[in-house]
Structure 1
Amino acid sequence: MTLRLWENPRRLMLAVNAAVLAGVLLHKISLPPYVPYIHLLVDYHFGFTKRALLGAIVSVFTAKVPVWLVFAVGGAVWLMTAGLFAQLFRRTFGFDEKNLPLFVFMAGSPFFLKNFMHTLGHFDIYGCLFAICLLLLPARSLGYVLLAGLLSAVLILIHHIHLLMYVPTIAVIVVLRYYLMQGVNRQNAAVGIASLAAVGVLFIAAQFYGAMAVPETEFVAHLQGRMADPSRADLLSFGYIWYQPLTKEILDTWQRLPHNLLGIPVFAFLIWLHAPLWQYFRNLIDVLSNDAHRRIVPAAIILVSLGYLIMFAIVFDYSRWISNWAVCLFLILHAVKMLPASKTAPPISAHDRKTSAMGWIVTLIPRVGIVRPF
């Protein structure tokens, strides 16, 4: 077994990635889960509230929320995401030797599962999970479009920033897998537009009418009443989120901008490390058999990227945004692979030394982070 690993560096990279993931997990559980924990406490006790769906679901099962539940729920969602992604990759590409370099650059990327482990308990991963589910499910009926709309609505209720984070990617997946394959007619176009409109209305409601209407002291008292250990008042330090207007978030982001921009060269380097993957993505687009498909896919990528640019201007968690942007491209790549192609795109080289070096660097980087790189 050991000899086989050394003879096939891609398998060794995956083994090292598993060890790195374990290290990230051990580090993560040693930190207080300020933001994830409070999201499990907030519910609809005071009426419609932004970011309250997860807490409302938790409240159905338990009146008192222990801190360990953050890691239990987050860990379960992470395992589901990792398992379903492996199933998606197996179904789309297969795990034969020629596709292992691609799997290393995706599953082993510090943008993806390792960063989701670092942000365990945050809401980003739900968008990824739902998108993977839509990539796995058959896309042959209007039910697929309606399901995508429903999942998008759930994401908005988890956190309304998903309108820019994963809802555009879900829309792209629906377009590529359903509308390009089944064709557009009056009925399915109306359903798609109605779904988008409903998600948009829900976003407006969450963003502009979902702030807490009661005094902050009353809100915090309610949250303390839901805590298994009310003495951990430090875990409620982010309660101001439910009172902060959009203008304040934008102001905070722009005040931090000069410092946060220092991370851009690091982000650029991390993106460059995935160059073999991006080249393969380009090759996939080039071999599509339909000219319209070859134009639509780049336009879709630009649309998704514009959403993230807006997020960069609004909220300062830059490391999370760049990581999720990359994950969205990974998922769109799978959708593109499902489109008709005139020939097979050449796989990432398993013997190129530069590609192998990039793969090792990607493997050894444990995460990208939340705000600043690493």
Structure 2
Amino acid sequence: MSLRAWQNPWRVMLAVNVAVMAGVLIHKITLPPYVPYIHLLVDYHFGFVKRALIGAIVSLFTEKVPVWLVFALGGAVWVLTALLFVKLFRRTFGFDDTHMPLFVFTAGSPFFLKNFMHTLGHFDIYGCLFAIVLLLIPAQSTGFVLLATFFSVILILIHHIHLLMYVPTIAVIVILRHYLNAGIDRTNLAVGVISLLALGALFLALQFRGTMPIPAAEFTAYLKTRMADPSRTDLLNFSYIWYQPLAKEISDTWQRMPSNILGVPVFALLIWLHSPLWRYFADLIRSLADDFQRRIVVAGIAAVTAAYLIMFSMVFDYSRWISNWAVCLFLILHAVKALPSARVASPVAGDDKKTGVLGWIVTLIPRVGVIRPF
């Protein structure tokens, strides 16, 4: 490492982040992919069911699903997401020394790429990927709203919980990038309202009509025919989730609440470690030239947060939810930066000692986890 690089520790942090991500990957491939693998097996063979789109697409290319496909497919999506985020950050902020601390607090956050590596094969990253695409492409025409709706349909078919996880963030991006810039007319308003109604109807259909319509034993027998190694019956332990009603999910969540709530102080600490980023975000919102746009941004962040609070009360994968909530804010930050401003927001101070310490801590934390912290 050259002397010049050491004089800019934020670039060293990026190198360390890459090493940490590699370590997370090595650890991840040693773990059995219980939930991700079974999602590659389930398709629409028995009719319209929830959580079946990815498996249905996989079935078009192969009759037998090997375990390694979880890591190959998940890894490809992870790489694409990381590359597009780098492209997005370069276009929004650039990679000069002034904005390098902001890049470390986002791309190097344990909430983001490192946690997506830990949850490799899960469906969360697809919402992030589609949101980044919507931040990169032009947003002037009504076609942008239709594309966002199409992406949202795909996400809900992958897993209906995306209605709360990433669809609200996609809606905020559409409002900030299209409606605030192009204005509201009869056409785009009608498209937006119809899209919201259609997405709500699709969610309800999957939530209440999307359970597997056959006995569990028959379902498991079919999944074995899709496995490259049918002896790995341990990978089918989560087949019950295609039968579990919403009431049971909520009941299980609240039964676990007393122990899982103990992780809240850790989540609060992790959020606080990103305080330089949050201060910059708040100043960026305050710098907006239009007071109405400022209120829309605040309302959008509140709506996204409310959706995650609803998820917290329904499903107990708390580490994933808090991580994806932070990622949603990272993405909304880019949409806000593109709005007209009255002044330049104060960047994250790279020469501040406390900020540097927080940057190193964020860099060295490998991931947040799935349910409980770490």
Shorter-normalised TM-score: what interval? over 0.9
Which residue does the alignment assign to 2:199?
A: 199
State the 1:187 CA deviation.
1.2
1:297 partner amino acid: V
Give, in whole Å, the separation in 1 of the partners of 2:82 and 2:254.
35
RMSD over aligned CA atoms reads 0.5
In structure 1, the residue corresponding to 2:98 is in which secondary structure?
helix
Where 1:293 maps in the other structure, the secondary structure is helix
1:10 paired residue number: 10
Residue 44 of structure 1 pairs with residue 44 of structure 2 = yes
Distance in 1 (alpha carbons) for counterparts of 2:344 and 2:179? 23
Letter in structure 1 aligned against 2:244 = Q
Tell whether 2:303 aligns with 1:310: no
Is 1:368 the counterpart of 2:332? The answer is no
Residue in 2 that maps onto 1:161: 161
Give the counterpart letter for 1:258 in structure 2.
P
For residue 61 of structure 1, give the secondary structure of its aligned residue in structure 2.
coil
Partner of 1:301: 301
Amino acid aligned to 1:280: Y
Q: CA deviation at 1:81?
A: 0.3
* Corresponding position of 1:290: 290
- 1:102 equivalent to 2:102? Answer yes
Residue type of the alignment partner of 1:58: V
Residue 341 of structure 2 corresponds to which residue in structure 1? 341
SS in 1 for 2:60: helix
Which digits, 9 at most, give the CA deviation of each residue in 1:193-226, with x for residues without a partner? 1111111111011111110010001100110000
- 1:24-103 alignment runs, 5 A limit: 24-103=24-103
Structure 1 distance, partners of 2:93, 2:297, is 19
Between the aligned partners of 1:259 and 1:172, the Cα distance in structure 2 is 33
Q: Residue 357 of structure 1 aligns to a residue in which SS?
A: helix
Partners of 2:309 and 2:54 lie apart in 1 by 27
Letter of the aligned partner of 2:295 in structure 1?
A: R
Tell me the distance in 1 between the aligned counterparts of 2:74 and 2:294: 37
Per-residue CA distance 1:224-250 (angstroms, 9 max, x = gap) = 000000000000000000000000000
Q: Distance in 1 between matches of 2:268 and 2:180?
A: 32
- Return 5+ residue gaps in structure 2 as ranges: none
What's the counterpart of residue 320 of structure 2? 320
Per-residue CA distance 1:61-112 (angstroms, 9 max, x = gap): 0000000000000000000000000000000000011000000000000000
- Cα distance in structure 2, aligned partners of 1:160 and 1:185: 30
Q: Distance in 2 between matches of 1:353 and 1:298?
A: 30
Question: How far apart are residue 318 of structure 1 and its match?
Answer: 0.2
Partner of 2:211: 211
Give the Cα separation in 2 of the matches to 1:238 and 1:373. 22
Mapped to 1, the partners of 2:247 and 2:267 lie a distance apart of 27
Aligned amino acid, residue 11 of structure 1: R
The whole-number CA distance in structure 2 between the counterparts of 1:275 and 1:293 is 24
Superposition deviation, residue 185 in structure 1 = 1.1
Give, as a single letter, the amino acid of the residue that structure 2 aligns with 1:88. L
- Between the aligned partners of 2:208 and 2:44, the Cα distance in structure 1 is 16
Instruction: Say whether 1:19 aligns with 2:26.
Output: no
How far does residue 2 in structure 1 lie from its aligned partner after superposition?
Answer: 2.7
Structure 1 CA distance for aligned equivalents of residues 298 and 149 of structure 2: 23
Provide the C-alpha distance between the structure 1 equivalents of 2:181 and 2:274, rounded to a whole number of angstroms.
29
- Which amino acid is 2:263 matched to? G
Structure 2 counterparts to residues 135-174 of structure 1, below 5 A = 135-174=135-174
Q: SS at the partner of 2:55?
A: helix
The corresponding residue for 1:225 is 225
* Cα distance in 2 between the residues matched to 1:271 and 1:287: 23
TM-score normalized by the length of structure 2: 0.99
Amino acid aligned to 1:131: A
CA distance in structure 2 between the partners assigned to 1:71 and 1:3 by the alignment: 38
- Amino acid across the alignment from 2:268: A
- Residues of 1 paired with 2:213 and 2:238: CA distance? 16
State the match for 1:273 in structure 2.
Answer: 273
Report % sequence identity.
72
Report how far residue 342 of structure 1 moved. Answer: 1.1
How much has 1:142 moved relative to structure 2? 0.3
CA distance in structure 2 between the aligned counterparts of 1:269 and 1:5, rounded to whole angstroms:
30
| CA displacement 1:306-347 (0-9 Å, x = unmatched) | 000000000000000000000000000000001011121111
SS at structure 2 position matched to 1:47: coil
1:186 Cα deviation after fit: 1.3
Q: Give secondary structure in 2 for the equivalent of 1:345.
A: coil
Using the TM superposition, give the Cα deviation of residue 4 of structure 1 relative to its aligned residue in structure 2, in angstroms.
2.5
**d(CA) in 1 for partners of 2:103 and 2:4?**
18
* Number of residue equivalences: 374
Once the two structures are overlaid, the 10-residue window that deviates more, 2-11 or 349-358, is 2-11
Gaps in structure 1 of 5+ consecutive residues: none
Note if 1:240 corresponds to 2:240.
yes
Q: Distance in 1 between matches of 2:232 and 2:350?
A: 51
For residues 60 and 187 of structure 1, what CA distance do their matches in structure 2 show?
37
Displacement of 1:5 in angstroms is 2.4
